[in-house]
Amino acid sequence: MAIEHASVRVVRKPWGVADLHPWSGIDGSNDAIGELWFQRVDQDAPSPALLLKLLFTSEPLSVQVHPDDAFARSIGLPNGKTEAWYILFAAPGARVAVGLKRHLTPRDLRASIRDGSIASLTQWRAVKKGDVIFVPAGTIHAIGAGIVLAEIQQYSDATFRLFDYGRRRELHEDSAVAVSDAGPLQAQPGPRRLTAARTMLIASQHFVLERIDLSPNSNWALNTDRETWILVIEGSGRIALTDTTVGDAMFIEADRTGIEVGPDGMSGLVAYPGPDPIASLLQDGGARTAVYSPKSNEIVEVQT
């Protein structure tokens, strides 16, 4: 059991930015910051199953792919990397790439890595604030310039690059060909409202990602039986004994805590291991609670 105000690890990247406002006051003017990793305060605590990040892009990232659990374990890694993105900011014309325009054979994929044509074979799409993108392991993908996003993923840094815009970093042709599902991304279910305050964005084997929207000056109880991450994306409030605002993250492990919402309300992203949403995750101060209804296969709120 644990309730912690997450610490932040700064990761500097050539495609990063200098100004992280309003998400962080850390100065990147001397060396661009590409990622902020939220971590447990106790470095000796067991590694969590999930990793929560913020990414800031001034240039396109590499075209890359991540392994699934089976391949990762075959090369000595504990697990693969499935991830999801929530777009917090997108400049006009900002794009991401997820999947390919058409199916490629392993031979064709290898050739496209060698001649650089893989960059034009990826399926790019425009993004805007509030978009959610699910990236299963094996999906070839890239993130364009002018984006701030929150990423939730399996705790892994296993990345195989296929194209890197001339940055002269190593490409990983053999591994990329071995793990890639070299075709278009299959359609994914859209967001689903669970309660008035909860919207399920992604439900997968590895994690559930929700958005919560809490009204001004309201009080809530959060109940979880597993590791849970909360990232404040709008407004402010008090979680447990910690004042939180935009860009703050909390780690809660199999515990119960209170949320006191500020005068402007509070919205956040909540992530925890899947595959199903936690029915009793959030209870409001009006003694309304959430229960699972087998008849409708939904979470419903009832007065208690």
Active site residues: 161
User: CA-CA distance, 106 to 128, in Å (whole number)?
Assistant: 33
Name the residue with tokens 């008035």: 196
**3-state percent helix, strand, coil for the chain, nearest multiple of 5:** 10, 50, 45
Using alpha carbons, select from 1, 99, 16 the residue that is nearest to residue 58: 16
DSSP letter at 10 equals: E
- What is the Cα–Cα distance from 246 to 304, expressed in whole angstroms? 32
Check residue 178 and give left, alpha or beta (phi > 0: left; psi -120 to 50: alpha): alpha
Place of tokens 């890639």: 180
DSSP three-state, residue 26: coil
Helix spans in 131-219 (H)? 173-179
CA 225 to chain centre: 20
Residue 69 φ then ψ, to 5°: -60, -45
Location of structure tokens 């659990």: 69
